[in-house]
Structures are given as C-alpha cells and as structure tokens.
Homo-oligomer: A and B are copies of this chain.
Amino acid sequence: MDVNWGEVAEWVGVAVFALTGALVAARKGMDPFGFALLATVTGIGGGSMRDVLLGQPVFWIADPTDLVICAAVGIFTYVAGTRVVGLMAAVRPRQLLLWADALGLGIFAVTGAQKAFWFGAHPITAVVLGTLTASFGGIIRDILAGEVPLVLRKEIYVTAAFLGSATFSVCVVMGLPYSVAGPAGFVAGFGLRALAILRDWSLPPFTARTG
C-alpha cells in the first residue's frame, strides 16, 4: 500500500514537472523533439540528480515508465497546443506552469528525502536531498531554455521545498509512518508554495547597509 502510494505520487510528480518543461518549450517556440526533450529532462531531472548523488543508477534505467510518461506529455502538449484551437489561450499557460511546478515541488520534496532515508542517509542529508530533488528539475529546465534560473531570486520557492522536506524528515525521525509523514510533508511544501504564489510572498532580499 505504502510503496504503491509512493510510486503513484512519483508518477504524478514526474508528469507535472514534464508539463512545466513542455510549457517552457511552447514559450520558446521549440519543435516537437524540443518539447519531448525539455519535458523529459525537467520531469526526471530532480530524481536523476538525487540518485546520482546517492551513487545509484538513476531510477529510469531499469524501468522506462517515467521516460514514456515524460515524452508523451511533451508530444501531447505540442499537438494539443498547436491543433486545438484556443486551448493555449484558454488554460493560461503561465498559471498552469506555476501550479504544476508547485505540485511537483511538493511531491519531490517528500520522495527525494524518502529515497535518501532508504539508502541510510543522515536526516540532515535527507532534507538537503529532498530540497535538491524538488528544485533541480526546474533549475535545469531554465538553464537549458537559456533563462536565468529564477528559482534563486523569486518569491518563496526553495524555502517551500525545504519546509516540505524538513517536515517529512522530522516526522520520520519521530517514528511516524510514511502514510502520515508523506502527506504532512507534501501539505507543508505545496501549501507554502501555494501561499507564495497567491499572496506574492517572499523573504527579504539582501541589501547591504553601508550607512
């Protein structure tokens, strides 16, 4: 049951991140393969980074399901956006991108930390790996698209990934089962990110006081 839940969550996270990659490809006017590539790199980027840092073969070597999901999301977005009259105007791609990204962030903050625990990492390391897993897909998407990775400057983003990952890890260290720790971490991470989007929250940026 628990493993099943985690796998479904991971698929959803991969799919929504892939969607954000495809939406950036649309903004950049890429061709169908650009859509598939950017969707795939964004969808599997965070989890691949996590596995590589853990010294493991990445999760899609043995089971290509996630690769197929990503490519399908990319191609579908290209076809739907090109063929379906008015679709791209109707869905407001910028809003869709923000919310899909927030959903993926909430999921990967948890699954990233979870896999780190699985491989015996220290809880602090688990929090950092969860934060990286949730952030890295979006960073590599922006770098490949030739944009400054906004993740580092904008309203609360990495902070939300960190909160989700830390909430999950604290629950695990306290001995709570994954069926409680997982949703708690997701709600914390996605919730903070959602509030940041809705209310335009941000942390105070750095300004040197030289007076």
Instruction: Decide yes or no: A206 and B86 within 8 Å by CB, A38-B152, A146-B149 being known contacts.
Output: no
In the bound complex, residues from chain B placing their C-beta under 8 Å from that of A198 are: none
In the bound complex, residues from chain B placing their C-beta under 8 Å from that of A202 are: 31
Q: Cβ of A139 < 8 Å from any Cβ of B?
A: yes
Contacting residue for A61 out of B54, B78, B139, CB 8 A: B54
1/0 per position for A188-211, CB-CB distance to B under 8 A?
A: 000000000000001111111111
Instruction: Decide yes or no: A211 and B85 within 8 Å by CB, A25-B206, A158-B34 being known contacts.
Output: yes
Q: Cβ of A171 < 8 Å from any Cβ of B?
A: no
Copies of this subunit: 3
Closest to A83 in B: B209
Q: Cβ of A29 < 8 Å from any Cβ of B?
A: yes
Taking A29-B206, A37-B158 as given, write out 13 further A-B residue pairs in contact, using a Cβ cutoff of 8 Å, ordered by the A residue number.
A28-B152, A29-B207, A31-B202, A34-B153, A34-B158, A48-B53, A53-B57, A63-B122, A67-B125, A86-B211, A88-B209, A143-B143, A146-B149
21 contacts between A and B (CB under 8 A): A29-B206, A31-B205, A32-B203, A38-B152, A48-B53, A53-B58, A53-B61, A55-B55, A55-B57, A55-B58, A61-B116, A61-B119, A61-B125, A62-B125, A64-B122, A67-B124, A67-B128, A82-B206, A85-B211, A86-B209, A139-B144
